[in-house]
C-alpha cells in the first residue's frame, strides 16, 4: 500500500470514529436541532469523503469493500449542498453506514501495517 493511501485511510478512520463518538446517544432530532453537533458531524463526514477522494485509484481498486463513490458523493453533497442537508440521510449514514466502514478501515489499516 502506498504511504499516502495509508495516511488517508487513517484520516478516514479517525474522523469516522469521532463522528460515532459525538453522535453516541443522539437522536435524529438532536442532530438536526443541536447546531454545533450538526456542524461538527457534517465537517467530520466531509473529512472522511475528502480523504477518500485522495486515496489513489489503485488503492480504491485494492479495497473494493469500501464504498468509495458513495463516500465521496456524500462529501460533495454535504459541501456543495450545505444549505439543504437532509438530516434523515445524515442520521442513516451515521447510524448504519459508518460502523461497518470503521470496521473495514480498521481491518485494512491493520493488514497494511503488518
All structural domains of the chain with their residue ranges: 3-112
* Cβ atoms of residues 75 and 46 within 8 Å: yes
* Cβ atoms of residues 59 and 10 within 8 Å: no
CA distances from 33 to 37, 48, 52, 78, 101 (A): 8, 23, 28, 17, 26
pTM of the model: 0.93
CA dist 81 and 73 (Å) reads 11
Reported residue count of the chain is 114
CA dist 37 and 49 (Å) reads 18
- Dmax over Cα atoms in the chain, in whole Å? 43
Split at pLDDT 50, 70, 90, the class of 82 is confident
Residue-level pLDDT at 40: 97
Q: Quick: pLDDT tens for 30-55.
A: 999 999 999 999 999 999 999 999 99
* Cell of residue 93, nine digits: 449514514
Amino acid at each position: 500500500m502506498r504511504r499516502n493511501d495509508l495516511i488517508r485511510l487513517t484520516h478516514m478512520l479517525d474522523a469516522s470514529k469521532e463522528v460515532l463518538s459525538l453522535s453516541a446517544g443522539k437522536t435524529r432530532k438532536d442532530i438536526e436541532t443541536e447546531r454545533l453537533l450538526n456542524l461538527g458531524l457534517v465537517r467530520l463526514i466531509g473529512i472522511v469523503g475528502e480523504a477518500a477522494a485522495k486515496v489513489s485509484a489503485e488503492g480504491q481498486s485494492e479495497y473494493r469493500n469500501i464504498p468509495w463513490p458513495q463516500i465521496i458523493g456524500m462529501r460533495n453533497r454535504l459541501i456543495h449542498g450545505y444549505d439543504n442537508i437532509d438530516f434523515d440521510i445524515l442520521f442513516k449514514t451515521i447510524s448504519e453506514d459508518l460502523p461497518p466502514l470503521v470496521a473495514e478501515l480498521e481491518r485494512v489499516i491493520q493488514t497494511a501495517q503488518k
